[in-house]
Chains A and B, each alone.
Chain A
Amino acid sequence: METVIDIVSWLLLTSGGFFVLVGGVGALRMPNLYTRMHAASVTDSIGPILVIGGLILQAGMTLVSIKLAAILVFLLLTGPTASNALASAAMLSGHRPGLAQKMSAEDES
C-alpha cells in the first residue's frame, strides 16, 4: 500500500515539476506580455495543484497535510488576483495587446 502511495505521489510531483518547467519555457517563447502570462499561468495553476497534491500524499493524515492544503487554497486564490492586477496594470500603462484580434459574442452564432 505504501509503495502505491509513493508511486502516485512521485508521479504527481514529477508531472507538477514538468508543468512548472513548461510554464517557464512558454514565458520565454511567447511573443508578447499577455501571451507570456498565459504560459506562466500553467506554472500558477496546475503546477501547485500537482506538487502539493504529491506532498500531501507523502505527509499522510497529519496536521502538515492540512497546512499544505491551506497553502494550496491561498496560492489558487492569490495567483489569479495577482494576474488580474498585472494585466490591468499593463493595460492602464498603455501596453496594448497588439497581436490580439477583437472577437465579439456575435461571431459565435
Chain B
Amino acid sequence: MEIYAGIDIGSVTTKCVILQGKSIIGKALVKTGIDTEKCANDVLDMAAGDAGIKVEEIQRMVSTGYGRRIFRRADRIITEISAAAAGGYILCGEKATLIIDVGGQDTKVIEVNGKGEVLDFLMNDKCAAGTGRFLEIMSHVFETDIQGFSQLAIGSESPVAINSTCSVFAESEVVSLIASSARKEDIAAGLFRSIASRVAGMVRQFRRYELTVFCGGGAKSQALKGFIEKAIERPLIVLQEPQFVVAYGAACLAR
C-alpha cells in the first residue's frame, strides 16, 4: 500500500504524520528551532523511524504550516487552513461543520461543507492575543507549563475579569493582580476566559456550528475547551492528540 507524509511546520512545534493507505503508521513532534528546515527533516526521520520505514519509501509529501515553504522536499505545499479542514473533517467521521484550531501563532475557525471543502474561514489578527503563544507567556508568569496552568484555571470558582488581550499588557495586568493578592486560580481562569471569548467571537460569525471540532495545541487544555464551550453554548469535539490534526490533514491531501 502507498505511503504518504504530512509535515506541519508550526511556529512553536513541527509535526509529522505518516499514512499507509488510510491508517497512521508513524508520527513525531519536535520543537521548531532556529533552523526550520533541519527541524522538518528531523521530524520526518523520527516519524519514519516510528513507522519502521525508510523515508525513501514515502510516495508523496505535503508540507503545511507557517514554515511550509522552507521544506524543499515537499511534493506539494498547502496552507494550514486547508490541512486543518481536511484533518478535522476526516478524523471526526466526516460530520464536522466547523473546525477551531488554536495554534502557537494563529487561531483559525474554518467552516467546511459536506465534502470537507473549505467554505469560509477566519484568522485572528496579527498579534498573539487569543493564541497558544499567549497561553505560553502567561504560564511562564505562573512559573508552570500550559498543562499546569490549565489545571490551575480549572480550580477556580470565580474567574477575575481580564481586560487586556494583548499579551504584553495582559502580563502587566496579571502582575498587578498577583500583587493585589487575587487567587492564582482565578487569575488563570480569567486569562483562559479572555482567550475563549475571542475564539467564541470568531465562531459566532459562522451560522453553522452544530458539530464543532477543536484541534491544535490549544485543544490540549481542558480549561480552554471548557470556557469556549461555555461561551458558544455548544459542546466541542476534541480529537485524540489534537496537535497532529493539521499534519494528518496534510498527509491525507498527499494521497
Say whether A associates with B. Answer: no
